[in-house]
Amino acid sequence: MRPCITESMNEEGVTRLMEYIIITGVLLLLMIVMMFSVNASLMEGPADKLRYHAFVDIGNGISTRIVDLYVISPDNGTIATKFDIPDDVAGRGYFVNVAMEGEDQASQAIQVQAGDIQSEIAIAGIGATKGVTGSTTGAGWNMIQYDSKGF
């Protein structure tokens, strides 16, 4: 004798299948949301902090090189030096800009930036006597030139 299949048994099987599909869909949606939030909080945040502190170190190194070149600069003549800075910081390139700062243009600063992360470092001691300008990137060798006549 064959068992009798009632309609309620068919509905129970469909209900369980729908329950599994809905739960699986909700869990997949939560997993996708977590992937985006984990990337932003656990990877980008620390990388941005690393970039900022590396930019401060790069700016201090360039400031030191500029001041050292100023100390040995001749009264008449030119002098140039090449230096190397990291090509990238945390996998991204950056720009270095040296310019006058403030309303009265009395102080000079080195600005290292990439995107919205930026650090400014004052050039110690020579801002009032020598004007320093220029820009560069981290790629390749960089050069600081001094000419007593000016550029």
Mean pLDDT of 22-48: 88
Q: Are 59 and 110 in contact (CB under 8 A)?
A: yes
pLDDT (0 to 100) of residue 66 = 86
In tens, the pLDDT along 72-127 reads 888 888 888 888 899 888 888 999 998 876 665 567 888 999 988 999 988 866 65
Task: Out of 87-91, 131-135, 142-146, pick the least confident.
Answer: 131-135
pLDDT (0 to 100) of residue 21 = 94
Gap between the Cα atoms of 71 and 6, Å rounded: 98
The count of C-alpha atoms lying within 13 angstroms of the C-alpha of 55, restricted to the half-sphere facing its C-beta, is 26
> What pLDDT band is residue 145 in, cutting at 50, 70 and 90?
confident
Gap between the Cα atoms of 134 and 118, Å rounded: 17
pTM of the model: 0.70
* Choice between 44 and 12, residue whose per-residue pLDDT is larger: 44
Task: Out of 3-7, 40-44, 124-128, pick the least confident.
Answer: 3-7
Calculate what percentage of the chain has a pLDDT beyond 90: 23
Query: Which H helix or E strand runs over 74?
Result: none
Mean pLDDT of 23-29: 96
